[in-house]
């Protein structure tokens, strides 16, 4: 009896650390633009890309978690952009971007254009200039496996919250377009949400991008306890537990009953890209990358572990 309890306890710890590790390191999604050209090894494009990416990963001073730069002469110019989530500490931002430069070139060898997203940052590069352009695709979504009981009310409050945050983020100026906030449903349940645009967008473009994203709410996450829609120019995420670092909270040390700011709320689940809405439910299947271009189903985090974790989350 006692030993089975101990085993359970140990498993819980193990699973908890697995979930934290996942939160810190797992790539959420990457996309290699197969129709945007390839470069050959040892080409000038390759050299320019390497130069740009190494300057990015050795840049210990990424202002406001945003970086964009171009390098090289036409036709071998490379444009790159990196953005950290607005609440990311400088060291984590740096580490995330460093990792992203290494992983993206590994995942998308010889592709002129590629994208990668993590919890804490995103990176993209291309031979075409995209600074200041709102680009909604490629996009993907993820959702929490658990459902809310009061879906209609929940979605209504969530929509209002996202609209409010959209306005705040879009007004954020050219250095930072990021907002977090919470809303309470009948004083019993709180929704926490985060929205962000790349700061090179105009107010209007940021707004349009987030409108596109939240327009996918019914398809991606209707009735779900958590979810996100992520695109090159903007993203939103919501959960029923706080998952972002609150700059106004002065005690950053997590107490056992609270998720740590960097911990992933359990049971986030992968969606797809670019999703024909009717295919949304394929996201619940344990899937692999579909090699046909267009639709992908990615399951990166084992479903069972997450479901188990979410049932255990009261322990932590």
Positions in the binding site for ligand NAG (CB under 6 A): 24-25, 37, 41-42, 57-58, 68-70, 75, 92, 95-96, 98-99, 102, 112, 120, 127-128, 131, 136-137, 145-147, 174, 181-182, 190, 199-200, 208, 212, 223, 242, 246
Nearer Cβ to ligand NAG, position 4 or 149?
A: 149
Q: What is the DSSP letter of 261?
A: T
Nearer Cβ to ligand NAG, position 98 or 235?
A: 98
From the CB of 234, what's the least distance to ligand NAG, in Å?
11
Closest to 198 measured CA to CA, from 167, 162, 161, 235 = 235
Contacts of 303 (CB under 8 A, 6+ apart): 145, 269, 286
Q: What is the DSSP letter of 256?
A: T
Contacts of 269 (CB under 8 A, 6+ apart): 142, 143, 144, 145, 283, 284, 299, 301, 303, 306
From the CB of 27, what's the least distance to ligand NAG, in Å?
9
Distance between CA atoms of 239 and 228, rounded to whole angstroms?
9
From the CB of 238, what's the least distance to ligand NAG, in Å?
13
Q: How far apart are the first and last CA of the chain?
A: 22
Nearer Cβ to ligand NAG, position 128 or 288?
A: 128
From the CB of 5, what's the least distance to ligand NAG, in Å?
27
From the CB of 9, what's the least distance to ligand NAG, in Å?
25
From the CB of 41, what's the least distance to ligand NAG, in Å?
4
Specify the pairing of strand 66-71 against strand 27-32. unpaired
Nearer Cβ to ligand NAG, position 95 or 260?
A: 95
Nearer Cβ to ligand NAG, position 7 or 156?
A: 156
Cα 289 to Cα 12, 84, 144, 271, 273: the distances in Å are: 30, 26, 20, 11, 10
Nearer Cβ to ligand NAG, position 15 or 134?
A: 134
**Number of residue whose CB is nearest ligand NAG:** 37
């Amino acid at each position: 009896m006692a030993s089975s309890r101990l085993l359970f306890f140990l498993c819980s710890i193990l699973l908890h650390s697995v979930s934290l590790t996942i939160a810190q390191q797992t790539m959420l999604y990457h996309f290699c633009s197969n129709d945007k050209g390839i470069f050959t090894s040892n080409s000038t494009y390759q050299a320019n890309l390497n130069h740009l990416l190494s300057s990015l990963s050795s840049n210990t001073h990424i202002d406001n978690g945003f970086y964009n730069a171009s390098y090289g002469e036409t036709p071998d110019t490379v444009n790159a952009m990196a953005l950290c989530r607005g609440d990311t500490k400088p060291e984590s931002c740096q580490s995330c971007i460093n990792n992203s430069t290494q992983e993206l070139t590994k995942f998308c060898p010889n592709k002129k254009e590629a994208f990668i997203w993590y919890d804490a940052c995103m990176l993209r590069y291309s031979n075409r200039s995209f600074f200041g352009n709102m680009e909604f695709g490629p996009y993907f979504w993820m959702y929490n496996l658990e459902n809310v009981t009061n879906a209609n009310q929940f979605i209504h409050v969530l929509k209002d919250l996202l609209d409010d945050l959209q306005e705040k983020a879009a007004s954020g100026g050219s250095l930072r377009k990021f907002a977090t906030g919470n809303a309470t449903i009948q004083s019993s349940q709180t929704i926490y949400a985060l929205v962000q645009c790349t700061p090179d967008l105009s107010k209007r473009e940021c707004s349009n991008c987030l409108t596109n994203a939240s327009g996918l709410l019914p398809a991606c996450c209707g009735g779900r306890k958590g979810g996100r829609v992520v695109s090159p120019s903007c993203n939103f995420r919501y959960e029923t537990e706080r998952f972002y670092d609150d700059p106004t909270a002065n005690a950053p040390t997590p107490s056992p009953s609270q998720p740590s700011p960097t911990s992933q709320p359990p049971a986030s689940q992968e969606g797809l890209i670019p999703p024909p809405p009717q295919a949304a439910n394929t996201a619940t299947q344990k899937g692999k990358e579909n090699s046909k271009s267009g639709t992908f189903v990615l399951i990166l985090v084992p479903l069972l572990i997450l479901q188990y974790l979410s049932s255990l989350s009261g322990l932590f």
